[in-house]
Amino acid sequence: MQRKPLSVLISSTFAFTICFAVWMMFAVLGIPIKTQLGLNETQFGLLAATPVLTGSLVRVPLGIWTDRYGGRIVLFALMLAAVIPVALISYATEYWQFLLLGLGVGLAGGSFSVGTPYVARWFSKERKGLAMGVFGAGNSGSALTKFVAPAIIAAWGWQAVPRVFAIALLATAVIFWLFSYTDPSHVGAGGSSFSQQLKVLKDPRVLRYCQYYSVVFGGYVGLALWMTKYYVAEYGFTMSTAALLAACFSLPGGAVRAVGGWISDKYGAYKVTWYVMWVMWVCLFLLSYPQTSMTIKTVNGALNLNLALTPWMFTALLFVVGVAMAIGKASVFKFIGDEFTDNIGAVSGVVGLAGGLGGFILPIMFGALVDLTGVRSSAFMLLYGTVCVSLISMHFSFKPARANAAPLAPRAA
């Protein structure tokens, strides 16, 4: 591998990791803020998800700008723009202030739709899936937040978290600029106007990949924002222990993405995505079952049964879901890298938008479902339903292709 592509890959992955850590900061930071402001579950979900909204909405224009102007300058400017709202969170005191500044924090989440086309254009088609998988491993920044933020809160209070993260983001922008490069041949790859680039979004395949990505990435973001609080409320853990256990989901959800890219290169995006959905279907079915006590009348009297996942069984299933989502995120972008080479910025932007909107809507729905039903595992019931939709969609969308690819059976004499 040549020096420049490797340097671009490493510096971009590092930058994306820090940006993702900043983007997910309310997963931990929101817990003391919820206590301080007396928020209900739905309000907490909105607070945690607000940065995800901005990070999703900016993905399409950022992807198009990356095609037109190059990823290096766009990603550098994006990180600088996010520093100020991140730092100002430490001075917020009202709920509306946190929501408003959270929109600014969300700019960091747009880094994915910049880095993906920026990195992809430095590699051949045979290595593109692996390269995008390595870059996508920056999702592990979510786990970084869960390791670092509780320690900062315990030592200096929650106000110190946004200050430390703002400094880290500024330093990361400088490091990225020093170790990344610009290739003039990569600039302007998507066409000369927004309208020309957006024409490709009418392709039905784009809508299909949006649906898949809203499950594997939107579900990942939603759970990454929700799981620390879930462990605290469901199992009574301290915030530090809850964040550590939640990281068992977040860390593989990012780090294994590089493996997902390699697997997708070897076995194909469709086959990998199909098996990912089935693994998630099984695990989410088990996670959906609430803690239950039943009394069964038998000939010998009443028989009491208690059905519940222990914290360790729950964490093991959640770990498997995290691994499956990581591989699925890579396989979906393998589809895009192979089929939309010239417009990868625009397409990755709109697919990333769909995934990000899923990550924004899900925590709010998680909170609303808990407020309405009182059942915390309703979050997994919702995700189970989305996976069912994906499996049905994949079956019918790829059925003609499978039929054409299948060899004709010999006719009976």
- Segments making up each domain of the chain, as ranges: 3-402
Question: What would the two tokens of residue 411 be?
Answer: 């006719």
**pLDDT category, 130, cuts 50, 70, 90?**
confident
**pLDDT category, 125, cuts 50, 70, 90?**
confident
CA angle at 129 for the pair 124 and 131, rounded to the nearest 5°: 75
For 298-336, how does the pLDDT look when each residue is reduced to its tens digit (9 = 90+)? 888 888 888 888 999 999 999 999 999 989 988 888 888
Whether the predicted pLDDT of 1 surpasses 60? no
**Which are the contacts of 383, defined by CB distance < 8 A and separation ≥ 6?**
215, 219, 222, 223, 280, 284, 362
Tell me the percentage of the chain whose pLDDT exceeds 90.
Answer: 51
Whether the predicted pLDDT of 409 surpasses 70? no
Q: What is the pLDDT of residue 401?
A: 53
DSSP string over 20-33: HHHHTTHHHHHHHH
Structural class in CATH, domain 3-402: mainly alpha
Whether the predicted pLDDT of 190 surpasses 60? no
Q: What is the pLDDT of residue 102?
A: 95
The answer to whether the beta carbons of residues 84 and 262 sit under 8 Å apart is no
What is each CA distance from 127 to 72, 119, 161, 314, in whole angstroms? 21, 11, 38, 36
For 94-118, how does the pLDDT look when each residue is reduced to its tens digit (9 = 90+)? 999 999 999 999 999 889 889 988 9
CB burial string 37-58: b at 16+ within 10 A, e below: eebebbbbbbbbbbbbbbbbbb
For 52-63, how does the pLDDT look when each residue is reduced to its tens digit (9 = 90+)? 999 888 887 888
For 338-354, how does the pLDDT look when each residue is reduced to its tens digit (9 = 90+)? 777 766 767 877 787 88
Q: What is the pLDDT of residue 100?
A: 96
The answer to whether the beta carbons of residues 209 and 336 sit under 8 Å apart is yes
